[in-house]
Amino acid sequence: MTAFDQDSFYDRVDRRGPRDCWPWLGGKDDDGYGRFSSGNGKRHRAHRVAYELAHGRFDRKSHVLHFCDNPGCVNPGHLRLGTHQENMKERNEKGRQAQGGDNGRAKLSVMHAEASRALHAQGWSIAKIAEFFFVDESTISAVVHARTWS
């Protein structure tokens, strides 16, 4: 990372009590993480800047994780370094991974998944169902065998 202007950064933070979340008041990305532009025009996630201002520089490959699960929080006391694997494990354990039709990468809606199972129970082949819904056979196979949409 780079050296950051601490005053400019904290002008965009609602600093509350030491145990409270400190909301980022500046711009945010689509995932709710604060965005901070440094003097050289580069944009950084605000919680990463907060961690660096409080604890010093760190390996850019490291992830800055929130104890509070609030992506807009920049309280250094709510942040810790971790790995991508730790971040994904915490996300899954805390149920923050979008499931089913709420997952933006889902190929089918709940209605389509239920219809696929019903059609298969009526004797439709996986290939025919996949063709009907314009998806790959592996997608339908995973649905009817309850590997997804269980």
pLDDT of 143 above 90: no
pLDDT of 104 above 60: no
pTM of the model: 0.63
Q: Which residues contact 10 (CB under 8 A, 6 or more apart)?
A: none
Specify whether the CB–CB gap between 108 and 132 falls below 8 A: no
pLDDT of 99 above 90: no
What's the pLDDT at 98?
47
Q: What is the pLDDT of residues 12-51, one digit of tens each?
A: 999 999 999 999 999 998 888 999 988 777 899 999 999 9
What's the pLDDT at 12?
94
pLDDT of 3 above 80: no
What's the pLDDT at 1?
46
What's the pLDDT at 14?
95
Q: Mean pLDDT of all residues in the chain? A: 85
- 74-92 mean pLDDT: 89
What's the pLDDT at 69?
86
